[in-house]
Amino acid sequence: APRTKPRGGARLSSMAASTSATWRIARFLGRGLRGTALACCVANTICNTICGLEVSGSLGQSMQPTLQEVVVTERMSIRTGTPSKGDIVVCPYPKDPTVTIGKRLVGLEGDVFLKARRSFFEASTITVPKDHCFLQGDNTKLSTDSRHFGSVPLGLVQGRVVLRVWPLERAGWLSTRWWFEKGAEKLP
């Protein structure tokens, strides 16, 4: 007796073909995504080690409204020289080195600043010693900075914030002069 094809045979072979095509597409996309992820990792490593660039998230409430979300930090200028007044720098938090903070550098060696007060009658000053800097957040009411923990050794400064990436409507280069041009030297 001759064998006849089962009725659903045509349907099964077309389903197998479409499943096979789906797997081929998924495999192709998976390889592409792996390649893209690898390229991103290599680019990130090159940027971090050679160029000294790093993309990081928000630096906290103390730098609002100047910085809010995503920024780019560069480390090359810190390796080759001293940061300048007005630069936004990143360094480990002196009270917890596992936390990185971002503050504006407002004072260098010899500058004198008021220390944070605990009471109305307590007013003392901080003189920035040699090879140290004084850091302060732009949002002085919400910032824990050098007024609280004292001056920071310049050797702890890890990088300088140079670019605001996000939000897109505020993306752009950050000038070191911006803060001083706004008359912030009059801030307490």
Q: What is the DSSP string of 31-81?
A: HHHHHHHHHHHHHHHHIIIII-EEEE----GGGTTT--SEEEEE-HHHHHS
- 58 as an active site residue: the answer is no
How far from 29 is each of 20, 33, 40, CA to CA, in Å?
14, 6, 16
What kind and span of H or E run contains 9? Answer: helix 9-46
User: What's the one-letter identity of residue 29?
Assistant: L
Strands 132-136 and 152-153: antiparallel
**7-29 burial code (b ≥16 CB/10 A, e <16):** eeeeeeeeeeeeeeeeeeeeeee
Q: One of 14, 20, 85, 103 is an active-site residue; which one?
A: 103
Kindly name the residue from 5, 62, 95, 130 that is annotated as catalytic: 62
What letters, b where the CB count within 10 A reaches 16 and e where it falls short, cover 156-181? Answer: bbbbbbbebeeeeeeeeebebeebee
Residue 62 known to be catalytic: yes
- Catalytic center residues: 62, 103
